[in-house]
Structure 1
Amino acid sequence: MASEPRKLNPASKVGVGAGIGALIAAAVTLALPGTRAAEGTVYHAYQDSGSVWTICSGHTRGVRPGMTATKAQCDAWLKADLTEATSEAVAITPELLSGPVSLRGQAGDFILNGGAGHWRGSPMAREAAAHRWRAACEAFRGYIVLFRPRGAVPKRYACKRSTKGVVYCAAPGLVNRREKERRDCLAGVAGA
C-alpha cells in the first residue's frame, strides 16, 4: 500500500511551532499601527465599499446592522484579525518565515484588507516565495484590486471600462494603502 506524501507544515520548517507564533506576533506588533490607521476605526456597523457589514477597523466576522463596539473590543478584534491574516500569509507562503518581519506584517495587512485569495495569486507572494524580499515589497505598489461599483461612482475613484464594457474602479485610499504597505515593507529590508 502506497503511503500518501507527507505535507510539510510551516512549523516543521523552523523546528518549533512556538517559534512561528513569535515570528507572527512580531509581525503583527509591527504592522498594527499602520493597519489601524489605514482601516480607520468606526464604532458602529456600516457597509464598506463592497457592501460587507463591517465594524471597528475592518472587522467583518459576525457583524450585523445596528451593532456597536467599544475601543477595547475594536483593539482586540483588530489584533486577532491581523494575527489570523498574518498566519494565513505564512501558511500560503511559508518562505515569509525566513524573510523580513516587515514583509510578514504587510502580507498580513494585505490579506486583512484584500483577502487570502488575492495574496495567493499576487506578485508579492510569488517574489517572497523566491526569497526576493525587495521585489516582494516593491510589488505592493502596483497591486490594486479593482471592484465593480454599484450605483454612482464618486469622481475621486479611478475607473476604467473593460473591452466588454464593464466598469472597474480603484478607490484612491487603496492606491495610498498599497504605497504605504510598500514603504513599510521596505523599511525592514536590508539596504533599502
Structure 2
Amino acid sequence: MKSRLRNVLVGVTALGMAAVGYVGGKEGLKLVSYPDIVGVWTGCYGETKGMHKGMKFTKGQCDSMLIDSLVDHETGMRKCLKDPDAIPDKSYLAFLSNSYNVGVGAFCRSSMARLANAGDLRGACNALILYVNAGAKKNVRGLVLRRTDERKLCLEGLGKWEPFSSSCARSACPPASSSGCWPFTRACQRFATFPSPIASPWCGN
C-alpha cells in the first residue's frame, strides 16, 4: 500500500516529518505508560498497542514507534478513501491526526470519510468538529481544542479556512445545504450549550 509518509527511496518524507511533529505535539510525549481518559493503557505519543502498566521508554523509542504507527493508521485510512492522493497535504494530515486519535475504524465510519468520498472535502473538514466525545465523557475540552485546530489545518489545505464564529453567523446555511454547511449547524447547536471556556475556541474568539 502506498504511503505519503514514508517510502523506500527517501525513508520518512517531508509530510511524514510534519506528521510526527503535528500528531506528536497533539498527543504529547510521556516516557512511562499511563491510563488515558477512558482507562486504556497508553504510552509515548498516545500509543496503545502492547501497552501495560509499568512500562518505560526513551524518546528515540517513542519517535520510532510514532512513525510506524502513523504509517499503519495511514494505510487503514487510505483503504476507506476513494482518492486519498487527491487530498492536499494539510487536509490529509488533519484526517490522519484524527484517524490516529479516534482509530481507523471510527474514521472510516465517520461523516468525514463519507463526505470526502462524495467529493465534498470542505464538508469533510468541517465534520472534524463533531468528534469531541471520549466514551461517556461529552464535549471534552482537549478534544474541542484539537478538533478546532485539525479543522483549521484541513481547511487551510483547501485555501478555505475561516473562524468558526463566521461560519455560525451565516444566515443562509440550512442543514441540507451543500459544501459542508450541515456540520456547522450541529456544532453551532452543540457549542451554544458549552461553558464559556470551552465555547470560546469553537467560536474563533
Shift in alpha-carbon separation, 1:191–1:54, aligned structure 2, 3 A: closer
Q: Would you say 1:46 and 2:34 are equivalent positions?
A: yes
Q: Would you say 1:122 and 2:110 are equivalent positions?
A: yes
Find the partner of 1:184 among 153, 162, 174: 153
Q: Report how far residue 126 of structure 1 moved.
A: 1.1
Counterpart of 1:81, as a letter, is: S
- What is the alpha-carbon distance in structure 2 between the residues aligned to residue 59 and residue 121 of structure 1? 21
Q: Report how far residue 22 of structure 1 moved.
A: 3.6
Query: Of the two, which has the highest radius of gyration?
Result: 1
Counterpart of 2:45, as a letter, is: S
Note the residue ranges of structure 1 that are not aligned, 5 or more in a row.
1-16, 149-167
- What is the alpha-carbon distance in structure 2 between the residues aligned to residue 27 and residue 130 of structure 1? 25
Number of equivalent positions: 155
Q: Report how far residue 191 of structure 1 moved.
A: 4.8
- What is the alpha-carbon distance in structure 1 between the residues aligned to residue 5 and residue 103 of structure 2? 21
Counterpart of 1:47, as a letter, is: P
Contact 2:81–2:113 under 8 Å retained in 1: yes
* 1:173 paired residue number: 142
Q: Report how far residue 49 of structure 1 moved.
A: 0.9
1:126-146: CA deviation from partner (whole Å, max 9, x where unpaired): 111012222211111223234
Counterpart of 2:92, as a letter, is: R
Counterpart of 2:113, as a letter, is: A
Contact 1:44–1:67 under 8 Å retained in 2: yes
Task: Give the TM-score normalised by the residue count of structure 2.
Answer: 0.69
Q: Would you say 1:75 and 2:63 are equivalent positions?
A: yes
Q: Would you say 1:94 and 2:63 are equivalent positions?
A: no
Note the residue ranges of structure 2 that are not aligned, 5 or more in a row.
7-12, 162-205
- What is the alpha-carbon distance in structure 2 between the residues aligned to residue 90 and residue 29 of structure 1? 18
1:6-57: CA deviation from partner (whole Å, max 9, x where unpaired): xxxxxxxxxxx6xx32467554333322211111111001000111111111
* 2:127 paired residue number: 139
Counterpart of 1:127, as a letter, is: L
Contact 1:31–1:105 under 8 Å retained in 2: yes
Moved more, 138-147 or 88-97: 138-147
Shift in alpha-carbon separation, 1:28–1:106, aligned structure 2, 3 A: farther
* 2:178 paired residue number: none
- What is the alpha-carbon distance in structure 2 between the residues aligned to residue 131 and residue 23 of structure 1? 23
Find the partner of 1:108 among 96, 107, 112: 96
Shift in alpha-carbon separation, 1:64–1:191, aligned structure 2, 3 A: closer
- What is the alpha-carbon distance in structure 2 between the residues aligned to residue 118 and residue 125 of structure 1? 10
1:159-190: CA deviation from partner (whole Å, max 9, x where unpaired): xxxxxxxxx42320011111111111112114
Task: Give the TM-score normalised by the residue count of structure 1.
Answer: 0.73
